Amino acid sequence: MKQARVPTDAEFKRLMAVVAQGRHSARNRLAFMLSYQAGLRVGEIAALRVEDVVDRDGAVRDQLRLKGEITKGGHARVVFLNERLRREIERFFGAGVSGPPLTPLLITQKRSAFSANTLCQLMGQLYREAGLDGATSHSGRRWFITRLAHAGVSAKVIMQLAGHKNLGTTQRYIDVNDDMMRAAVEIL
């Protein structure tokens, strides 16, 4: 099976411009940011509840604790939220989107929780509107892993952040292009 395309910075900006122009822009932007900035799978994003990202006082958490029942491998894991993603979550709640702790974080226009499939379809539609052929709901996760690898983060750390049990799985996510290879040989 062909892997999801890893968008460039310019393509990601174009995607965010398309998201900003659409209905439910705050919700859709947060869905993509959770994928790109935390490496979450679409099913994990769809399963998040308000209480997963904010505490009782409404402060954004610095980490998510994903329960095994919502992860692909069935193993609970901790996902750390960087400053950019925490600001995105604050922005989302600042846009008037909120609810009781057990409310789904992202809700459909019918006011129900997203299924992984429905969120996957929405992300695919927005990628197509942005002209990003080959991009899927997994593109953000591949971008996350690729960026960490190219920043020199240890493969073991990336593997843990991605929730992989096998290093080979993590390595398949890392995208390589001509610019990256040129930069690598220029280090010598």
Q: How far is CA 1 from CA 16, 134, 183, in A?
A: 27, 12, 29
Give 37's contacts (C-beta < 8 A, 6+ positions apart): 81, 82, 84, 85, 88, 144
Residues 63, 145, single domain; the answer is: no
Residue 159 lies in a domain: yes
Residues 114, 127, single domain; the answer is: yes
Residues 105, 52, single domain; the answer is: yes
Rounded Cα–Cα distance for residues 180 and 182 (Å): 5
pLDDT score of 1: 61
pLDDT score of 90: 92
Residues 135, 145, single domain; the answer is: no
Q: Tell me if 103 sits within 8 A of 114, measured CB to CB.
A: no
Residue 110 structural domain: 9-139
Rounded Cα–Cα distance for residues 107 and 111 (Å): 5
Rounded Cα–Cα distance for residues 157 and 68 (Å): 19
Residues 103, 133, single domain; the answer is: yes
Rounded Cα–Cα distance for residues 1 and 30 (Å): 28
- pLDDT < 50 stretches in the chain: none
pLDDT score of 102: 79
Q: pLDDT tens digit string along 90-116? A: 999 886 666 677 789 999 989 899 999
Q: What is the pTM of this model?
A: 0.89
**How many structural domains are present in the chain?**
2
Residues 90, 100, single domain; the answer is: yes
